[in-house]
Amino acid sequence: MGQTFAEKILSKYSGRTVVPGEIVEVKPDIAMSHDNTAAISVTFEQLGVDKLDDPDRHVIVLDHCTPPANEKFAMNHKITRNFVKKHGIKHFFDIEQGICHQVIIENGLCLPGTVMVGADSHSTTYGAFGAFGTGIGRSETAVIMATGKIWFRVPETIKIIIHGEFPDGVGSKDLILKIVGEIKADGALYKAVEFAGPTIENMTISSRIVLPNMAVELGAKIGYMIPNEETLEYLEGRAQKEFEVVESDPDAHFEKVLEFDISDLVPQIACPHTVDNVKPITEVEGTKIDEVFFGSCTNARLEDFEVVAEVLKGNQIHADVRMLVFPASKDIFLEAMRLGYVQTIAEAGAIIMNTGCGPCMGNHEGVPADGEVVLATNNRNYKGRLGNNESEVYLSSPLVSAHSAIKGFITDPRNN
Amino acid sequence: MSIKGKVWKYGDDINTDVIFPGKYTYTISDPNEMAEHALEDLDPDFAKNVKENDIIVGGKNFGCGSGREQAAVCIRMAGIRAVIAKSFSRLYFRNCVNNGLPVIVSAEAVDAIENGEIIEVDMDKGTITCAAGTFEFPALPPEVRGIFEDGGLIPHTKKILGTD
Ligand code: SF4
């Protein structure tokens, strides 16, 4: 019988034919860590080896609290830089470069048919390029530094087929929120999720990334899609090594196949305090907001900037709202500047911040006050996620965030 | 190995942001200090009153969200010796195993166990005994059990590397 992508790639990397439920040991191609490298390096040192198994396997990006908010964060960065120098880690990206997942993609390190792990739960993002990408813990990353290896349980696969064309005002963020709302935060626990169908094939790279990025919000181990033509073109001249696309066999066994038709999809909002508390925008329209957080590895790419700039052009952000803008990478920032998006967004009254994760996990740069409501384009709205458990966070698409920033309340882009 | 302790029972989808708030993830590196903030945004009484050998019982998808390992470390350091849930998020499961903290899946036991009661978990027999009765749970795969039995991934790896 045929194999799914996950079964196939774990068979290839473990050197034997495997089935779901088995435990395998593999050597991932890439192991990513970010500001947590400081802590990981301490654990590595406890392991009693003095050299990394393969320094070129490791990618380190400083992004989670950049520039450092206080001396502790600064110390983490310093420890990380020293570790990088000591061990000759060439794939190191300092605080000006951007959010880890985006930086990895832009630097041609995210490749189809490879196994990529990251000490960050949103490492499922790499599936947008047809990689087996998953989050691991800090200790596990330290062990990979020492041994190159990690264990996995071979996951069953759920296939999600998307049909139809996006109606006006609706995009990939609305789609993934819809899916999370329907199948819930544990709907794909321990599973591989494969996104397929004509809609997925025709989406832009930036829109596609949103789906595997948030696959972890379904509990999934990986989110995967077959790299489309645009993706393969993007990799030409950028890929840092040769790769081979790995796809599920036509006769592979999927644990479940779910189908969604998006022809009638409306903008979706994840309401406090869980990502799967999703409602159609019509039910929460009018909710007053204090802050808009436009950023994160989910939605702060060039096409998101284009959408937001278009809406904000010639408008002013509501007097009671502050809008904070964090480009996902330096390259995106520069391009958005060149195209005039940054100018437009700043003229509308938004605050242009540095590239990085910003307030996404509550470290700094826009922590809300007690009782405040934030509309955010990131991927999580748990209590306290943005640094204050007395605030409320709603998640939306960049388009909804821009319209809402002008109005001062959650606004349906289709009526505006 | 048997663990006997008081139950701290919580609901479904307990996420790592409430187990160990994100704002501390880069500022607190001392495991004992992590313990002081365990479950801070979920149950402010927990860190003050938890005792050695206590047991956390959760619903489905326990430990979802961010994969921060401190969410496993902080409860372990606070004294928790086992977590029983209907299901775990995969990263939380891994992080617990890697820190030598038993993670047990048993929906029946979770439904039967009352908050605050004293229960006993027998890891060798694979049983949980509470006031409502005794429940069996499936053994961990041998590869995973090896890590747990060595006290976590770091001692386990040191054993393999011969650096212990
Ligand atoms: S932007 Fe947010 S979700 Fe993405 S890597 Fe940074 S902290 Fe994590």
Q: What's the confidence (pLDDT) of residue A103?
A: 98
**Domains contained in chain A, number:** 2
Q: What is the largest CA-CA distance in chain B?
A: 46
Tell me the one-letter amino acid at A244.
E
Q: By residue range, what is the domain housing residue B34?
A: 2-161
What is the domain-level CATH number for residue B139?
A: 3.20.19.10
Angle between helices A172-183 and A205-215 (to 10 degrees): 20
Q: What's the confidence (pLDDT) of residue B22?
A: 85
Q: Which of A353, A360, A395 to mutate to test the pocket of ligand 1 (most atoms within 8 A of CB)?
A: A360
Q: Which of A101, A123, A326 to mutate to test the pocket of ligand 1 (most atoms within 8 A of CB)?
A: A101
Backbone angles phi, psi at A194, to 5 degrees: -110, 120
Mutate to test the interface with A, among B64, B99, B159 (most CBs of A within 10 A): B64
Local confidence band at A33 (pLDDT 50, 70, 90 cut-offs): very high
Do residues A333 and A247 share a domain? no
Q: What's the confidence (pLDDT) of residue B139?
A: 83
What is the domain-level CATH number for residue A293?
A: 3.30.499.10
Q: What's the confidence (pLDDT) of residue A367?
A: 94
CB B26 to CB A65 under 8 A?
A: yes
Local confidence band at B25 (pLDDT 50, 70, 90 cut-offs): confident
Q: By residue range, what is the domain housing residue A73?
A: 5-259
* Nearest beta carbon to residue A382 from set B65, B88, B90: B65
Q: How far is the CA of B93 from the centre of ligand 1 (A)?
A: 21
Dump pLDDT digits (tens) for A381-394.
Answer: 998 889 999 999 99
Cα B52 versus chain centre, distance: 13
Tell me the one-letter amino acid at B14.
I
Q: How far is the CA of A155 from the centre of ligand 1 (A)?
A: 24
Where does a domain end: A208, A227, A259? A259
Where does a domain end: A259, A287, A313? A259
Residue A260 confidence (pLDDT) above 90: yes
Placement of tokens 């990334």 in the chain = A209
Q: Which residues of A touch B157 (CB under 8 A)?
A: 47, 143, 146-147
CB B90 to CB A221 under 8 A?
A: yes
Query: CB neighbours of B121 closer than 8 A, spacing ≥ 6?
Result: B2, B3, B4, B55, B82, B84, B102, B104, B127, B128, B129
Q: Is the CB of A377 under 6 A from ligand 1?
A: no
Do residues A194 and A283 share a domain? no
The count of residues in chain A is 416
Q: What's the confidence (pLDDT) of residue B65?
A: 87
Residue A288 confidence (pLDDT) above 90: yes
Q: What is the ipTM of this complex?
A: 0.89
The predicted model gives A294-309 an average pLDDT of 98
Dump pLDDT digits (tens) for A69-127.
Answer: 999 999 999 999 999 999 999 999 999 999 999 999 999 999 999 999 999 999 999 99
Dump pLDDT digits (tens) for B73-120.
Answer: 999 999 999 999 999 999 999 999 999 999 999 999 999 999 999 999
> Which SS3 state, helix, strand or coil, does residue B59 take?
coil
Cα B71 versus chain centre, distance: 9
Do residues A241 and A277 share a domain? no
* Nearest beta carbon to residue A48 from set B15, B98, B161: B161
Q: Is the CB of A296 under 6 A from ligand 1?
A: yes
